[in-house]
């Protein structure tokens, strides 16, 4: 009898728990059994492993082989355990040395010829492997991703024979490194391409500086999508910790990771036909949804009223808490979801309410029903509501001042964020009620104006706190320690849908605001 132990990593949500692959050879009729709660892809690995070992010139033991994937109560899925199982069989049959296997972790799917194929979730596995103090051996295609973890020795390989040669000290594998951590991504979009829209750009700058959610209301062609798509260009690059967390979510979702811009805040724009599981995550083995893929970045929902109302309602909890827990009968998964919501909508079903040409024939009842597709509690969680109006003359007038560029806006955003983090260690949008009382103090005139706004607009407690947080961000952009009346006035002006006025914008503008 012979026994070999090989270490690997499973997947449970965004975590990568350790899996010990135990291979036992015993006398009896030749067979290969895999136990430890394996799913179909894992069970099929016995056929891939057998063919790979034979095609690589190894002897496949004609004994009773038992492979245990411990812990037994953790579901195992995918082909990531193929390499570990193959090496366990070789070590148990004494075809490769087993004395130093405990210093490595092995992950990778095997082809029938023994080539190593990539697997999903290499980055979370690499993060956990670093904590264990072991060296990671995995397919070459996953090398760049795993090497993003600083301080981890990553040894990528193309073939099972290369791994065996390394373990036999015949031809050591070379450590893999990647220099993407210090690279600066190149932006192909810029706010300089958006002519006019000065008020909208200012609102975008405030939203970026404080991490505030924003809703744009305007007719088709007014530039709502252009403004939203360029928001990441004025956001600071992610810290290494944030970038690793966001990249880990993309990794387990099977999304490609571009090493050149891995520190860029993610931008996700799902179609309005997306289902609730697509937005928040789900499945038998829970997978992250769009809100988690937008973690530390931007989630853009265009044509907001066209989304199913029940789908939009699932956003309310993660907007407040910054995470989502998906529960199923068999298991549950916890995913981070601290995203910035940017949404856009038309002023009415046809999109042209208030057009001077009079082409809109939507009745007040139709406009009301259109607005009611978005619930009050969800709107209450969106800090900024602004109009984005058509400004056709801005495209024709050559005497306008140079448009604001993203670099200039990003410099102000970074300065304001630095002020906020030095003061309380987080974005203003994430302040708690106690922190609002402590850090969002306004002078007497500002308090008077805010009291009048609460009374006239009927602001809820949540809206009241959001106005204060926006005013704190505007004051930071002005490098002001105190919140003054102009800061409160501008913040109140961003609460367009709180006003007791006509259902939607009444006019279009053809000049600079």
Indicate if 157 and 201 belong to the same structural domain.
no
Residue 509 confidence (pLDDT) above 50? no
Q: Which of 48-57, 242-251, 371-380, 454-463 has the lowest mean pLDDT?
A: 454-463
Phi, psi of 19 (to 5 degrees): -125, 125
Distance CA 451, CA 443 (A): 12
Cβ(414)–Cβ(479) below 8 Å = no
What is the pLDDT averaged over residues 153-164?
97
Residue 44 has pLDDT above 80, yes or no: yes
Q: 63 lies in which domain range?
A: 2-178
Per DSSP, 58 falls in state: P
Phi-psi region of 296 (alpha: psi -120 to 50; beta: other; left: phi over 0): left
Residues 41-63, mean pLDDT to the nearest whole number: 96
Helices (H), 281-432: 290-293, 309-313, 316-321, 364-371, 376-380, 393-396, 406-424
Q: Reduced to 3 states, what is the DSSP secondary structure of residue 142? A: helix
Residue that is last in its domain, among 149, 178, 207: 178
18-26 vs 64-70, strand pairing mode? antiparallel
Residue 507's pLDDT is what? 38
> Which residue in 171, 176, 146, 175 sits closest to 161, CA to CA?
171
CATH number at residue 245: 3.40.50.300
Q: Are residues 489 and 420 in the same domain?
A: yes
| Residue 508 within a domain | no
pLDDT at 286: 84
184 located within any domain: no
- Identify the three-state secondary structure at position 37: coil
Q: How far apart are CA 416 and CA 469, in angstroms?
A: 13
Query: How many CB atoms sit inside 10 A of residue 369's CB?
Result: 13
Q: What is the mean pLDDT of residues 329-340?
A: 86
Give CA angle at 469 (466, 473), nearest 5°.
135
Q: Determine the pLDDT at residue 398.
A: 58
> pLDDT tens digits for 419-458?
999 999 999 999 999 999 999 989 999 999 999 988 888 8
Cβ neighbours, 10 Å, residue 4: 20
Average predicted confidence (pLDDT) for the chain:
89
| Model pLDDT, residue 510 | 37
H helix intervals, 211-239:
224-229
Q: How confident is the model at residue 330 (pLDDT cuts 50, 70, 90)?
A: low
Bridge partner residues of 20 (DSSP): 7, 70
At 179, the pLDDT band (50, 70, 90 cuts) reads: low
Same domain, 201 and 153: no
Closest CA to 384 of 176, 209, 188: 209
Total length of the chain: 513
Does residue 480 register a pLDDT over 90? yes
Asked if the model's pLDDT at residue 129 lies above 90, the reply is yes
**290 and 401 housed in the same domain:** yes
Among residues 131, 133, 134, which one has the least CA distance to residue 84? 134
Distance from chain centroid for Cα 237: 14
Backbone angles phi, psi at 499, to 5 degrees: -85, 140
Domain presence at residue 133: yes
> Once rounded to an integer, what is the mean pLDDT over residues 472-478?
97
pLDDT band at 397 (very low <50, low <70, confident <90, very high): low
- pLDDT at res. 512: 37
Record the pTM. 0.88
For the stretch 477-481, contacts whose Cβ atoms lie closer than 8 Å and that sit 24 or more positions apart, written own/partner, are 477/205, 477/206, 477/209, 477/412, 477/415, 477/416, 479/415, 479/419
State pLDDT tens for residues 271-305.
999 999 999 998 777 889 999 999 999 999 999 99
Mean pLDDT lowest among 67-76, 101-110, 180-189, 409-418: 180-189
Q: Are residues 326 and 396 in the same domain?
A: yes
Same-domain pairing of 61 and 153: yes
Same structural domain, 78 and 142: yes
Residues 102 and 202 in one domain: no
Render the burial of 27-53: b for 16+ CB within 10 Å, e for the rest.
Answer: eeeeebebebbbeebbeebbebbbbbb
Q: 200 or 512: whose pLDDT is higher? A: 200
- Where b means 16+ CB within 10 Å and e means fewer, 92-113 reads bbebbebeebeebbbbbbbbee
The three state secondary structure string of 240-295 is HHHHHHHHHHHHHCCCCCCHHHCCCCCEECCCCCCCHHHHHEECCCCEECHHHHCC
**Domain-terminating residue out of 148, 178, 208:** 178
Of the two residues 302 and 257, the one the predictor is more confident about is 302
Out of 178, 211, 232, pick the residue that ends a domain.
178
**Domains: count for the chain:** 2
Cα three-residue angle 460-461-467, rounded to 5 degrees? 85
pLDDT in tens, 94-123: 999 998 999 999 999 999 999 999 999 999
pLDDT at position 511 over 70: no
The pLDDT-based confidence of 343 (bands split at 50, 70, 90) is very high
pLDDT digits over 140-154, tens only?
Answer: 999 999 999 999 999
Span 240-251, mean pLDDT?
93
**Whether residue 171 is found in the same domain as residue 207:** no
Q: Which region among 137-146, 147-156, 245-254, 330-339 has the lowest average model confidence (pLDDT)?
A: 330-339
């Amino acid at each position: 009898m012979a026994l070999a132990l090989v270490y690997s990593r499973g997947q449970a949500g965004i975590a990568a728990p350790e899996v010990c692959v135990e291979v036992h050879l015993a006398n009896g009729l030749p067979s290969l059994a895999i136990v430890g709660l394996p799913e179909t892809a894992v069970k099929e690995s016995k056929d891939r492993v057998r063919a790979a070992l034979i095609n690589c010139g190894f002897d496949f033991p004609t004994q009773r082989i038992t492979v245990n994937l411990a812990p037994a109560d953790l579901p195992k899925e995918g082909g990531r355990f193929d390499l570990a199982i193959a090496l366990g069989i070789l070590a148990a049959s004494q075809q490769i040395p087993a004395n130093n296997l405990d210093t490595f972790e092995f992950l990778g799917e095997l082809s029938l010829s023994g080539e190593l194929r990539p697997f999903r979730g290499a980055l979370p596995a690499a993060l956990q492997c670093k904590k264990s103090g072991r060296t990671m051996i995995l397919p070459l295609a996953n090398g760049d991703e795993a090497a993003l973890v600083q301080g981890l020795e990553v040894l990528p390989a193309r073939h099972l024979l290369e791994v065996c040669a390394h373990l036999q000290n015949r031809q050591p594998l070379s450590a893999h490194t990647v220099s993407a951590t210090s690279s600066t991504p190149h932006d192909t979009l810029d706010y300089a391409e958006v002519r006019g829209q000065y008020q909208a750009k200012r609102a975008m700058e405030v939203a970026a500086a404080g991490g505030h959610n924003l809703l744009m209301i305007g007719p088709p062609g007014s530039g709502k999508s252009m403004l939203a798509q360029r928001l990441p260009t004025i956001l600071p690059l992610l810290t290494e910790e944030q970038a690793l967390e966001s990249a880990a979510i993309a990794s387990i979702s099977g999304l490609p990771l571009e090493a050149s811009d891995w520190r860029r805040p993610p931008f996700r724009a799902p179609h309005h036909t997306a289902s609730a599981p697509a937005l928040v995550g789900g499945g038998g083995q829970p997978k992250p949804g769009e809100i988690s893929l937008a973690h530390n970045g931007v989630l853009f929902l265009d044509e907001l009223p066209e989304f199913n109302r029940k789908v939009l309602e699932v956003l309310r909890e993660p907007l407040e808490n910054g995470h989502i827990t998906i529960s199923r009968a068999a298991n549950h998964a916890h995913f981070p979801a601290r995203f910035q919501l940017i949404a856009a909508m038309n002023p009415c079903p046809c999109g042209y309410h208030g057009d001077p040409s009079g082409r809109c024939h939507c009745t007040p009842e139709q406009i009301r029903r259109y607005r009611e597709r978005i619930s009050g509690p969800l709107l209450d969680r969106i800090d900024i509501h602004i109009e984005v109006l058509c400004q056709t003359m801005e495209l024709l007038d050559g005497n306008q001042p140079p448009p604001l560029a993203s670099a200039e806006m990003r410099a102000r955003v970074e300065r304001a964020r630095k002020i906020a983090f030095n003061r309380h260690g987080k974005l203003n949008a994430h302040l708690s009620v106690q922190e609002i009382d402590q850090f969002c103090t306004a002078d007497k005139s500002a308090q008077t104006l805010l009291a009048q706004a609460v009374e006239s607009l009927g602001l809820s407690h949540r809206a009241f706190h959001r106005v204060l947080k926006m005013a704190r961000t505007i004051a930071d952009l002005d490098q002001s320690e105190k919140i003054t009346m102009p800061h409160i006035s501008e913040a109140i002006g961003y609460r367009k849908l709180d006003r007791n006025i006509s259902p939607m914008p009444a006019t279009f503008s053809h000049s600079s605001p």
